[in-house]
Copies of this chain bind each other. A is one copy, B any other.
Amino acid sequence: VTDLVERLAVIVGPSNVLVGDDIPEELTHDEALTASPQVPAAVVRPDSAAEVAAVVALAAELGLAVTARGSGTGLSGACVPSPGGLLVSFERMAAILELDLDNHVAVVQPGVTLDQLDEATAEVGLVYPVFPGESSASLGGNVATNAGGMRAIKYGVTRHQVLGLEAVTGTGEIIRTGGRFVKSSNAYDLTQLIVGSEGTLALVTEATLRLYPRPPHVATVLAPFATLAAATGATPAIVGQGIGPLLVEYIDGLAMGGIVAHAGLDLGVAVAVREQAQAYLVVVIEQRRQDRLAEDVEELAVLLAELGALDVYVLPDHAGTQLIEAREKAFWAAKAAGADDIVDVVVPRSAMAAYITRVNAMASATASLITGCGHVGDGNVHLSVFQPDPEVRHGLVHDMIVAGVAMGGAVSGEHGLGIEKREIFLELADPAQLVLMRQIKVAFDPAGILNPEVAR
């Protein structure tokens, strides 16, 4: 270990190599509920792509695992270190290198947080539109998991915003992909291959991201429905109306109770309505003109009533903002309520109601409680599972994911596989595609050192 520390210190400086008791506890885990913390042999804090490349080259030489870490806000254990390996923390690579106003592009280092980028882009009237719900998350982590979030219905997910990358492969080589353009047709798109690969193909050291004009006016509409099927069934018409909502969320009655209580919110929903409402739709609209926003809200309210909403509430600005912020913290509300696990399956949005009905039957059969909310506009379900018995819970979560995939969905909508969903992904994946993926992995990382806990 002394030899290793010395060689790392030559690369990043002695103060940027941490071992033993100097490793903060928070670096041993992310926010996943069921992944066990692990202590790496050393934490390394590089401040340039060249330093990252040298660290990876050394790790390849020594056969040490390398795990990348941004803010550690992930929910699947994808940045939990390998015991005996290196943890590369990007806390010193946290600069917005450029806001390019001519091309509407931001060039960022991986440690930049969504908050930081949002503040900088707001000053110039632009926005980076991906909001996965935790704004202290890093862009490097967002790229690694292909982070989604509530606004995906309007803007797409991280993959749609990443125009180019600088990254270090498993051999310690630095590659630069893409550029400041939306379009190109130049052989295989390595940018898109690295996005979502959870640090198993390369460590991202710089990302070129697409920015958009920031619409100044925003309104939040809340519509309680008698049944979940009625709420989710309203979505195609809402999207088809052409207003272009920024987000369409469903929140079930229980989850809404938790969110509202956790945030101390009063949304003004009458008790009689609340008692009937098994599910809520939250629709947010943004516009560049206040007059159009008012018109759109009016049109939307009429449509929601036609679609069977029990009532329609146009929330005052502060309440709308609070509700969305509280919704973004739904994970924390669930955690505070004692949730034992979470599931983020994605299904075709038309299958959402049937999927949740199915899942509720599974909950009954196992004496478990499942509550949730989700991005109904894009079929991404977020369910909290309350079941203290680990064996029962494991079987239930397994069956919930199997059911989602069987309905045309996928294991993870946006959290990534990490170490938590690796096994079930392998169980459900097409063997032919696993063979392709393993060969891709070998191409980028012949020594198999990049996040080996996830890529098995």
CA distance A264 to B322 in the complex (A): 58
Return A99 CB to nearest CB of chain B, in Å.
12
Q: Is the CB of A181 within 8 A of B378?
A: yes
Q: Is the CB of A193 within 8 A of B201?
A: no
Taking CB atoms, residues of chain B closer than 8 Å to A443 are 435-436, 439-440, 443
Q: Is the CB of A192 within 8 A of B425?
A: no
Q: Is the CB of A425 within 8 A of B186?
A: yes
Q: A417 near B: Cβ within 8 Å?
A: yes
Q: Is the CB of B349 within 8 A of A433?
A: no
Q: A125 near B: Cβ within 8 Å?
A: yes
Looking at chain A's contact residues, the main secondary structure is loop
Taking CB atoms, residues of chain B closer than 8 Å to A183 are 146, 148, 152, 157, 346, 375, 378-380, 413-414
Q: A180 near B: Cβ within 8 Å?
A: yes
Q: A113 near B: Cβ within 8 Å?
A: no
Q: List 27 A-B contacts (CB under 8 A).
A: A103-B236, A104-B239, A104-B240, A126-B240, A146-B185, A146-B189, A152-B182, A152-B183, A153-B182, A175-B430, A179-B410, A181-B347, A181-B349, A181-B409, A181-B413, A183-B413, A184-B414, A185-B196, A186-B411, A186-B425, A187-B196, A187-B197, A188-B196, A190-B436, A213-B241, A242-B288, A439-B440
User: A residues engaging B (CB < 8 A)?
Assistant: 100-105, 125-126, 145-148, 152-153, 156-157, 159-160, 169, 173, 175-177, 179-190, 192-193, 195-198, 201, 213, 215, 236, 239-243, 288, 292, 346-350, 375, 378-380, 408-417, 425, 429-430, 432-433, 435-437, 439-444
Known A-B contacts: A187-B196, A213-B241. Give 14 more (CB < 8 A).
A100-B348, A102-B236, A104-B236, A148-B185, A175-B430, A179-B348, A181-B347, A181-B349, A187-B198, A187-B417, A188-B436, A243-B288, A439-B439, A440-B443
